[in-house]
Amino acid sequence: MHYYQESLFPLSAPQIPKPTYTLSRSALLQWQGRIRAWQTQVLAELSSYDFNPFQLPAYPMEFYRSTALAKLGGDACIYFIIDRSAQIILYIGETSRSHQRWQGQHDCKRYLARYCQSCFSQSVPVQITSSFWWYTSRARVDRQAQESRLIHRWKSPFNQENWQVWQTPFVSMP
């Protein structure tokens, strides 16, 4: 006797296209270039009392999956999400729980995925890292005020306050 089991998925089933979040190569490079030009100007204007986020130790973007982060310096911090290849700060955030902040949902994860997909599809190098500045206030209001000053100074494109400045395409893509 010969037994035959039909497929649960017929061969004629329509293929659902995967969404794409890409820009043209020139549009992507121009977008990065405008941000880099602004942030390079900010770097040139830093005083000896300021810190340079690009000189902070870099950690993998998946820092939130590591238990080692909890031992780095403390809980309260201001953190920076940086594309080291493009030399641009993409996002600035603050938290009182550095080892837990990105464990759940975080809109910036989605923006980064779209940004990376655009870079990969256009053969634009990308190296996303995270850096932490531990010398911030434990008081939430003070820390948030400092975060706000940094967001406005560096004009990080994935922070909502700067979406209109850079016409950030990765936050509004489906």
Instruction: List, for residues 101-134, the tens digit of each pLDDT value.
Output: 555 555 778 888 899 999 999 999 999 998 989 8
Mean pLDDT of the chain: 82
Is residue 11 a part of any domain in this protein?
A: no
Segment 12-36 shows an average pLDDT of 77
Total domains in the fold of the chain = 1
Amino acid at 85: S
Segment 90-104 shows an average pLDDT of 71
Segment 25-54 shows an average pLDDT of 95
Is residue 5 a part of any domain in this protein?
A: no
Domain span at 164? 25-36+52-171
Is residue 141 a part of any domain in this protein?
A: yes
Between residues 139 and 174, which one has the greater pLDDT? 139
Segment 23-42 shows an average pLDDT of 96
Is residue 42 a part of any domain in this protein?
A: no
Is residue 93 a part of any domain in this protein?
A: yes
Please tell me the number of Cα atoms within 13 Å of 47 on its side-chain side.
Answer: 1
Is residue 2 a part of any domain in this protein?
A: no
Is residue 46 a part of any domain in this protein?
A: no
Positive/negative CA dihedral, 146, 144, 154, 62: positive
- What is the largest distance, in Å, between two alpha-carbon atoms of the chain? 85
Segment 54-73 shows an average pLDDT of 70
C-alpha 166/C-alpha 174 separation (Å) is 18
Is residue 146 a part of any domain in this protein?
A: yes
What are 20-26's contacts with CB under 8 Å, separation 24+? 20/117, 20/121, 21/113, 21/114, 21/115, 21/117, 21/118, 21/170, 21/173, 22/117, 22/118, 22/121, 22/122, 23/118, 23/122, 23/169, 24/122, 25/122, 25/123, 25/124
